[in-house]
């Protein structure tokens, strides 16, 4: 008899599972244990199902500190859930691996894995051994992957024709909070990736794309800057707010007098001694500023701070400066401007300066907040996506959405094959797997049919979240795909009056869909082979 579980939430909004009469039950092993593991994984999957698709609902996650996150990104939701059961943790890891490898499809992969486990439970009740189920799933996955290759279309990644790429990015962003301006966001993501992409080698360096955000304004104010945006301003309020033809000294040494590296101490016993120290410090400051000016630099960017005296001297010498610029930011500035990071003033030479056509200070509304924009750089490949939004939650969700879109375009640069979305590939693969199951003479045919049924859970969830009659809609599209041999017919989530995903321009990358099926199958195979959970050092019963 399988256990009955209930998904409940604590006072922090974190979900956990209560097993019925769990305090009275003895340790479960074998098939009973396997069914309890399946139930835990299914509980995670059912939590995610309502977030699938363009009409999927968001989750509000509350941390122990009371911080609120509103998102429908699968990896983010699962990463913030406090999951106790070890098998449920495998589902969290599954979503994370999809996010790390592909960047998109994190909700779909968990929903598919949950459906596979649900079908496996019914096969276990019929007396089929877990290993035979796992083998059948493996065979079905190979059939599905092969079928996806056969129905995929490809288009050239052409910088002169961005429309196919934009349509793909729009499909990704359609389920996100930014969907009211998702055309603009898609264009920004495409242009950002193509700015840094090495098309001949099919490679994209994500290090050159920085995503910066500032609360205030509206989502439509989001822009792509061909350069670097730094959340800093000039060190002195009287320094110029704009520097044209900037020759930038990028320093990781502080503007301060040298300190003894040993444990010696300096005793100041008289006014003359104090004045001598003061004179020495001023001379050192003068020397540092002159060393920078001598190279022809007209802007200094420093990783460390400098005190008021150094700041005043920089102003007097008409050398604008920015201080406390973080390590990753200073590296990006060096890449963008073609400059070298200099660890000592004595090593600074004109050849090590970076160049930018314009460095300007951005001000926001009536607040005193400023940011620095470095544009028209020597290496124009480095770009920054500057996101605006009404509050912190919207800005953070927009950052996650943009990240997904960037990953999808990166995947298209790596492999330009696409399939059409709306659940159409799952329905088509389900039909293909069912056909293969009819030809399988072994017991695995039952597992293959179960795999085909599991694939249909994704389009059913899409239809359900869109407010349609899920079973009726799915049955109609299956029949239409069989009759017309059109694998691009899917769920009309947006109520546009047509099931043709080509016509609706709902596009997904082949890479992401194949990875979803492979990862879900691998994790389900792993779960089916677990019949007991023990802690290290635990005594045997």
Tell me if residue 367 is catalytic: no
| Alpha-carbon gap, residue 103 to 402, rounded angstroms | 10
Catalytic residue among 58, 73, 99, 500: 73
388: left (phi over 0), alpha (psi -120 to 50) or beta: beta
Cβ atoms of 453 and 114 closer than 8 Å? no
DSSP 347: G
Pairing of strands 354-363, 370-377: antiparallel
| Alpha-carbon gap, residue 119 to 501, rounded angstroms | 28
- Closest Cα to residue 314, out of 258, 236, 257, 247? 236
Tell me if residue 106 is catalytic: yes
Distance of CA 348 to the CA centre of its chain: 38
Helices (H), 102-239: 106-125, 130-151, 163-173, 182-196
Q: Quote the tokens at residue 196.
A: 């840094």
Cβ atoms of 341 and 331 closer than 8 Å? yes
Tell me if residue 168 is catalytic: no
Catalytic residue among 69, 106, 171, 222: 106
| Alpha-carbon gap, residue 479 to 458, rounded angstroms | 17
Cβ atoms of 120 and 41 closer than 8 Å? no
> What is the CB-side half-sphere exposure of residue 454 using CA atoms within 13 A?
34
Catalytic residue among 99, 233, 404, 492: 404
Tell me if residue 107 is catalytic: yes
| Alpha-carbon gap, residue 224 to 39, rounded angstroms | 46
63 Cβ contact list (under 8 Å, min separation 6): 12, 69, 80
Catalytic residue among 47, 71, 76, 107: 107
Catalytic residue set: 73, 106-107, 404
């Amino acid at each position: 008899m399988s256990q009955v579980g209930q998904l409940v939430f604590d006072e922090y909004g974190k979900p956990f599972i209560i097993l019925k009469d769990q305090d009275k039950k003895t340790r479960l092993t074998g098939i009973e244990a396997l069914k309890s593991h399946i139930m835990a994984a299914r509980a995670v999957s059912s939590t995610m199902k309502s977030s699938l698709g363009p009409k999927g609902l968001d989750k509000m996650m509350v941390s122990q500190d009371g911080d609120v996150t509103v998102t429908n990104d699968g990896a983010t939701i699962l990463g913030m859930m406090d999951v106790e059961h070890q098998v449920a943790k495998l589902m969290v890891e599954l979503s994370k691996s999809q996010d790390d490898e592909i960047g998109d499809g994190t909700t779909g992969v968990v929903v598919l894995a949950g459906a596979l486990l649900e079908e496996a439970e019914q096969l276990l009740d019929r007396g089929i051994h877990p290993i035979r189920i796992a083998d059948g799933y493996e065979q079905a996955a190979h059939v599905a992957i092969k079928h996806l290759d056969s129905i995929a279309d490809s288009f050239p990644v052409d910088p002169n024709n961005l429309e196919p790429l934009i349509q793909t990015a729009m499909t990704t962003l359609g389920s996100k909070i930014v969907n009211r301006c998702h055309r603009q966001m898609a264009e920004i993501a495409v242009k950002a990736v193509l700015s840094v992409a090495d098309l001949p080698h099919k490679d994209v360096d994500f290090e050159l794309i920085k995503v910066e955000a500032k609360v205030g304004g509206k989502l439509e104010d989001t822009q792509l800057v061909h350069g670097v945006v730094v959340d800093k301003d000039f060190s002195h309020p009287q320094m110029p707010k704009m520097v044209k033809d900037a020759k930038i000294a990028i320093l990781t040494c502080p503007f301060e007098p040298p300190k003894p590296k040993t444990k010696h101490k300096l005793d100041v016993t008289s006014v003359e001694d104090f004045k001598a120290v003061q004179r020495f410090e001023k001379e050192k400051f003068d020397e540092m500023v002159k060393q920078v000016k001598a190279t022809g630099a007209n802007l200094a960017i420093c990783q460390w701070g400098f005190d008021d005296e150094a700041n005043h001297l920089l102003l007097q010498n008409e050398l604008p400066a920015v201080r406390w610029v973080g390590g990753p930011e200073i590296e990006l500035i060096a890449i963008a401007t073609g400059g070298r990071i200099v660890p000592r003033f004595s090593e600074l030479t004109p050849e090590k300066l970076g160049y930018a056509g314009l460095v300007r200070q951005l001000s926001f509304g009536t607040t005193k907040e400023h940011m620095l924009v470095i544009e028209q750089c020597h290496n124009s490949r480095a770009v920054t996506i500057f996101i605006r939004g009404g509050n912190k939650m919207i800005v953070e969700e927009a950052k996650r959405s943009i990240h997904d879109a960037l990953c999808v375009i990166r995947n298209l640069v790596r492999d330009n094959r696409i399939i059409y979305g709306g659940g159409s590939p799952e329905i088509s693969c389900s039909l293909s797997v069912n056909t293969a199951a009819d030809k399988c003479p072994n017991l695995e045919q039952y597992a293959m049919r179960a795999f085909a049924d599991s694939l249909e859970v994704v389009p059913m969830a899409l239809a359900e979240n869109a407010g349609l009659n899920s079973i009726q809609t799915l049955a109609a599209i299956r029949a239409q795909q069989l009759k017309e041999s059109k694998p691009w017919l899917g769920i009309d989530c947006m109520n546009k009056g047509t099931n043709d995903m080509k016509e609706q321009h709902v596009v997904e990358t082949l890479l992401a869909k194949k990875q979803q099926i492979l990862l879900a199958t691998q994790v389900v195979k792993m779960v089916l082979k677990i019949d007991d959970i023990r802690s290290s050092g635990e005594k045997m019963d």
